[in-house]
């Protein structure tokens, strides 16, 4: 995969760009919000060190093309309101997994729809991915709606795939193929 450390994508209301050191406070706010973290794969964050370590990991991983993670900067005020990522990239199978989160104060305004359309366009047309997957807690209705609006199909159900804290949860596995995306676009 190419390096992603200089990658930026523009949408109508957002600049999608790599994370930087000054994003640590906004990231901690995002990942410590109990509403955002309700169905996440880790417990809510508790310290700024967790934000700094994500940014540090990204500097390496984005430069080596290991994963793409872009912050969602709202262009009208420059505030970082979320992030989206393509990870678990398989070059051989031209497959990746998508992840995303947006601050709860910015929910319901279709920002994530806008961001994911740009990220998926990049993944399918520039990275030539054939398939993008999403692993969703079946109770996470907002996430399922976001995926279905983009054309993802629910393909499978995996029981007790996650243990976060003392909570065991299932996975609804969603998939979107390049040919379906282009057919829709």
Residues lying near ligand COA in the complex (CB under 6 A): 36, 39, 100-102, 107-113, 134, 136, 140, 142-143, 145-146, 149
In whole angstroms, give the CA distance from residue 82 to residue 115: 10
Residue 3, sorted as left (phi over 0), alpha (psi -120 to 50) or beta, turns out to be beta
Least separation in angstroms between residue 130's CB and ligand COA is 21
In whole angstroms, give the CA distance from residue 58 to residue 149: 29
User: CB-wise, 140 or 169, nearer to ligand COA?
Assistant: 140
Q: Which pair of tokens denotes residue 145?
A: 């709606």
In whole angstroms, give the CA distance from residue 39 to residue 35: 9
Least separation in angstroms between residue 3's CB and ligand COA is 26
Least separation in angstroms between residue 101's CB and ligand COA is 4
**CA angle, 168 as apex, 165 and 171 as ends, to 5°?**
120
User: CB-wise, 13 or 57, nearer to ligand COA?
Assistant: 13
N- to C-terminal Cα distance for the chain? 24
Least separation in angstroms between residue 183's CB and ligand COA is 17
Packed helices 111-121 and 141-149: angle between N→C axes, nearest 10 degrees = 50
User: CB-wise, 42 or 64, nearer to ligand COA?
Assistant: 42
In whole angstroms, give the CA distance from residue 19 to residue 151: 28
User: CB-wise, 92 or 160, nearer to ligand COA?
Assistant: 160
User: CB-wise, 93 or 142, nearer to ligand COA?
Assistant: 142
Least separation in angstroms between residue 113's CB and ligand COA is 3
In whole angstroms, give the CA distance from residue 107 to residue 30: 12
User: CB-wise, 102 or 176, nearer to ligand COA?
Assistant: 102
């Amino acid at each position: 995969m190419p390096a992603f450390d200089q990658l930026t994508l523009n949408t109508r209301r957002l600049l999608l760009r790599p994370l930087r050191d000054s994003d640590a406070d906004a990231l901690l706010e995002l990942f410590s919000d109990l509403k955002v973290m309700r169905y996440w794969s880790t417990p809510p964050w508790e310290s700024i060190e967790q934000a700094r370590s994500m940014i540090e990991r990204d500097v390496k991983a984005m430069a080596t093309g290991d994963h793409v993670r872009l912050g969602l900067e709202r262009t009208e005020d420059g505030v970082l309101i979320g992030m989206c990522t393509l990870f678990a990239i398989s070059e051989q199978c031209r497959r990746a997994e998508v992840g995303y989160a947006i601050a709860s104060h910015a929910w319901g305004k279709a920002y994530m729809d806008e961001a994911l359309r740009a990220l998926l366009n990049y993944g399918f047309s520039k990275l030539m991915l054939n398939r993008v997957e999403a692993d969703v807690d079946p109770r996470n209705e907002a996430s399922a709606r976001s995926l279905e609006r983009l054309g993802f199909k629910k393909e499978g159900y995996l029981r007790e795939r996650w243990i976060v804290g003392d909570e065991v949860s299932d996975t609804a596995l969603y998939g979107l193929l390049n040919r379906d995306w282009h057919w829709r676009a």
